[in-house]
Amino acid sequence: MQSSFSDLEYAAKKKLTRRDRFLAEIEAVTPWSALMAELEPHNPKGECRGRPPIGLERMLRMYVAQQCFGLTDEGIEDAVYDSQSIRRFVGIDLARESAPDATTLLKFRRLFETHELTRKIFDTINAHLAQKGLMMREGTIVDATLSAAPPSTKNRGQAHDPEMHQAKKGKQLYFGMKAHIGVDGDSGLVHTLVGTAANVADVTQAHTLLHGDETDVLGDAGYQGVHKRDENKELTIIWHVSMRPGKRKTLDSSGLDRLLEQHAQAKACIRTKGEHPFHVVKNLFRHRKTR
């Protein structure tokens, strides 16, 4: 395809922005051809009212950009017009065509929901990362985070979303859902994700976050007693669970207590890899609330 003047101007600019670098990294690590193979069987053929086909890969790229920057359907449509870096990532040339509108993207997301394509994409990317040797699979870090949802009942059903629930963390109440993740202990990459209501205890989901090849699993104090649960008794893995904060505060500087404190710090250093995905999703992707 012939380059436009805006493409040439963009390619010649002297400074790359953080958005440019981020999208370049996404472009480089995403197995687009494998994802297309998963999505193509579910691609609806033909466009209504004679509209030219937008292209499955461009819709997927627009969807990825939307998720990465935490934008609404209308927001990503505007971003395609406003940002040359996003236009280039999606593959839209405004001199020849208009960007897909919010309604088109909404239909694309509903296609994902109908055929559970998000799970297939997640599994395809994980398989690609494992093939590249980026997941060692010997150890898993399990963790969970709350995702708030609007508690208002001013909606069509005059009720809370039935999938959401209230939970208490410390002295504060939260309403929403909870994301449970299993993270590769070596690379810090997420290999398993389970969503539940906010009131579901972390320890009840530990067995669902394992891929089966682990020898060691690390978790915070919320997973105390995990090895005693019926679903975990037959597992031949070693659980490394942090002691409760109240008990840790009672440790002093004596010989045994000092060793226990050092052991707790060592486990905490490893578990930080399980916190990093939450930082990416909430602070970088801006998904602090459940939509």
Query: What's the pLDDT at 209?
Result: 95
**255/174 same-domain check:** yes
Does some domain include residue 125?
Answer: no
Cα-based distances in Å from 124 to 5, 34, 129, 193, 248: 37, 7, 9, 14, 41
Burial class (CB in 10 A: 0-12, 13-18, 19+), 17: exposed
Does some domain include residue 128?
Answer: no
The whole-angstrom separation of Cα 172 and Cα 170 is 6
HSE (CB half, 13 Å, CA atoms) of 255? Answer: 0
Query: What's the pLDDT at 113?
Result: 87
**75/168 same-domain check:** no
**211/83 same-domain check:** no
Query: What's the pLDDT at 48?
Result: 42
Domain count for the chain: 2
**21/45 same-domain check:** yes
Query: What's the pLDDT at 112?
Result: 87
**201/169 same-domain check:** yes
Cα-based distances in Å from 253 to 244, 249, 259: 18, 11, 9
**108/140 same-domain check:** no
- Domain residues for 45? 5-120
Query: What's the pLDDT at 52?
Result: 53
Question: Pick from 120, 153, 183: which residue ends a domain?
Answer: 120
Determine the number of helices (DSSP H) and then strands (DSSP E) in the chain. Answer: 10, 6
pTM of the model: 0.75
Nearest one of 220, 226, 236, 149 to 183, comparing CA atoms: 220
The whole-angstrom separation of Cα 96 and Cα 86 is 16
Query: What's the pLDDT at 198?
Result: 93
Query: What's the pLDDT at 50?
Result: 46
Going by the DSSP 8-state scheme, the letter that residue 51 receives in this structure is P
Going by the DSSP 8-state scheme, the letter that residue 207 receives in this structure is G
Tens-digit pLDDT profile for residues 220-269: 999 999 999 999 999 999 999 998 888 888 888 888 888 888 888 888 88
**109/140 same-domain check:** no
224-232 — which CB contacts under 8 Å span 24+ positions?
Answer: 229/203, 229/204, 231/207, 232/206, 232/207
Report residue 175 as tokens: 């309403």
Does some domain include residue 255?
Answer: yes
Q: With a cut of 70, which residues of the chain have pLDDT below it?
A: 1-14, 44-53, 135-136, 291
**Cβ atoms of residues 78 and 102 within 8 Å:** no
Query: What's the pLDDT at 291?
Result: 63
* Structural element, H or E, at residue 219: strand 216-219
**11/149 same-domain check:** no
Tens-digit pLDDT profile for residues 111-140: 888 888 888 898 898 888 878 777 667 889
Nearest one of 95, 110, 103, 121 to 31, comparing CA atoms: 121
**101/211 same-domain check:** no
**Cβ atoms of residues 141 and 271 within 8 Å:** yes
Find where tokens 């280039």 sit.
88
Amino acid (one-letter) located at 43: N
**54/25 same-domain check:** yes
Does some domain include residue 46?
Answer: yes
**13/55 same-domain check:** yes
Question: Pick from 57, 91, 120: which residue ends a domain?
Answer: 120
How much is the mean pLDDT over the chain?
85
**208/74 same-domain check:** no
Query: What's the pLDDT at 153?
Result: 78
Question: Pick from 120, 146, 170: which residue ends a domain?
Answer: 120
Strand 238-241 and strand 190-197: pairing?
unpaired
**Cβ atoms of residues 97 and 104 within 8 Å:** no
**Cβ atoms of residues 90 and 97 within 8 Å:** no
What CATH number is attached to the domain comprising 174?
A: 3.30.420
Nearest one of 136, 273, 128, 274 to 213, comparing CA atoms: 136
